[in-house]
Amino acid sequence: MNNHKLGRTLLGTLCILTSISQIANSQEKSASKTVPVHLVITDVALRDDKELPPLQREDVKVKQGKNFLQVTQLIPAQGDNAALQLMILIDDTLNTSVGNNLSDVKDFINSQPPSTLIGVAYMSNATVKVVQNFTADHDQAVKAVRLPLGSLSSMDSPYLSLINLVKSWPQQKVRREVLMVTDGIDRLRGEKPQPSRLGPNYGSVYHSMPTISVDASSASEFSQRYNVIVYSLYAAGVGRAGRSSWDLQLGLSGLSKIADETGGECFSLGTSTLVSFKPYLERLQKLLSNQYYLVFQAVPGKKPGFQRVKIQTELSNSEILAPDNVWVPAAE
């Protein structure tokens, strides 16, 4: 009888040990299948009149669906890690009256720390003309800022220009961010012809663009793919589109979409002309001063691609700005 009890006890112990071993092996395999994902996040105060304490690694939660992903590093973008490449991207279709605000942009450039490299470029013909490559000589960057041409080209799309910039930007282990000064209007795209609502005998007709430009979505995806954060300052453009409330709203919506999805912000007073850029550039400076490098472990797919994640914190008076999607490499 005692031998039977002993046998059952040993058998039960063996089953438990086997089960523990299987769980450990499963966890080890699961851990080995993850890959590190790197991106830059921004900590923002919900109320400016309250303190914003520094984030700690345990304060940041990365959620994918119902699962939380492991955060392995959170490094403040300060000191030895403060390197920043900031491109000032100005639309040449802007009304030249924006010149009254360019002094604010110049003051902002001059206020940057030595760790910030400034570039200056202008958008036209669906491309960018870089007039000043990234430099730590902020006086040189200031001299490169000029009035926009205030005219139209054959292919005016701030979104295609942004794509052109991002695709040609060499990847480095530093923060890469863009400040676009534009009205966001895609003057290149038009709606495809549709059958007339008056009947088949009336042929096909063109209507105004009904939604945000498809190139705004493409520009957002390219920026997220290459970890570029995009901010925008709204300014009035020229031409009929610049006087159309419909086009103006679509342009602003496109800028807001890219900023929201890349972890940046769109600075505007609706479609009204900003009296001064200064308060918005001061807010941008606060954002740049509260950024972190975040590394977390993601589960890769068979091929590299985007994954939707939510990056949050439960700290009071704190909100994290981050890309909506992250690029996850394939498993090795």
Q: What is the pLDDT of residues 205-245, one digit of tens each?
A: 777 777 899 999 999 999 999 999 999 999 999 998 888 99
* 26 part of a folded domain: no
pLDDT at 37: 95
105/181 Cα distance (integer angstroms) = 10
What band does 191 get if pLDDT is binned at 50, 70 and 90?
low
| Residue 35: pLDDT over 50 | yes
Residues 151 and 275 in one domain: yes
> Mapping DSSP to helix (H, G, I), strand (E, B) and coil, where does residue 204 land?
strand
pLDDT at 109: 98
| pTM, rounded to two decimals | 0.87
Tell me how far CA of residue 102 lies from CA of 18, 90, 105, 197, 306, in angstroms: 70, 10, 5, 46, 37
Quick count: other Cβ atoms within 10 Å of Cβ 248? 21
* 251 part of a folded domain: yes
188/194 Cα distance (integer angstroms) = 18
Q: How many domains does the chain have?
A: 2
Residues 53 and 168 in one domain: no
* 67 part of a folded domain: yes
Residues 223 and 256 in one domain: yes
> Mapping DSSP to helix (H, G, I), strand (E, B) and coil, where does residue 196 land?
coil
Residues 316 and 270 in one domain: no
| Residue 67: pLDDT over 70 | yes
77/292 Cα distance (integer angstroms) = 5
What band does 154 get if pLDDT is binned at 50, 70 and 90?
confident
Q: pLDDT of 2-17, one tens digit each?
A: 555 544 554 554 454 4
* 329 part of a folded domain: yes
Q: Are 192 and 157 in contact (CB under 8 A)?
A: no
**Domain range enclosing 242:** 83-193+211-288
Residues 171 and 311 in one domain: no
Q: Which of 162, 177, 94 is nearest to 126 (CA)?
A: 162
Dihedral of the alpha carbons of 231, 234, 239, 242, in degrees to the nearest 10: 120
288/299 Cα distance (integer angstroms) = 30
Residues 242 and 331 in one domain: no
Residues 266 and 138 in one domain: yes
Residues 185 and 56 in one domain: no
CATH number at residue 105: 3.40.50.410
* 58 part of a folded domain: yes
Residues 253 and 180 in one domain: yes
* 199 part of a folded domain: no
Residues 220 and 329 in one domain: no
Beta pairing, strands 67-69 & 35-45: unpaired
| Residue 31: pLDDT over 70 | no
Query: Can you say whether the dihedral through the CA atoms of 24, 28, 34, 37 is positive or negative?
Result: positive
223/171 Cα distance (integer angstroms) = 12
Position 250, amino acid:
L
* 93 part of a folded domain: yes
Residues 275 and 132 in one domain: yes
pLDDT at 3: 53
Beta pairing, strands 175-182 & 228-234: parallel
pLDDT at 192: 66
* 24 part of a folded domain: no
Residues 282 and 172 in one domain: yes
Tokens found for residue 142: 């200031």
Q: pLDDT of 198-207, one tens digit each?
A: 888 888 777 7
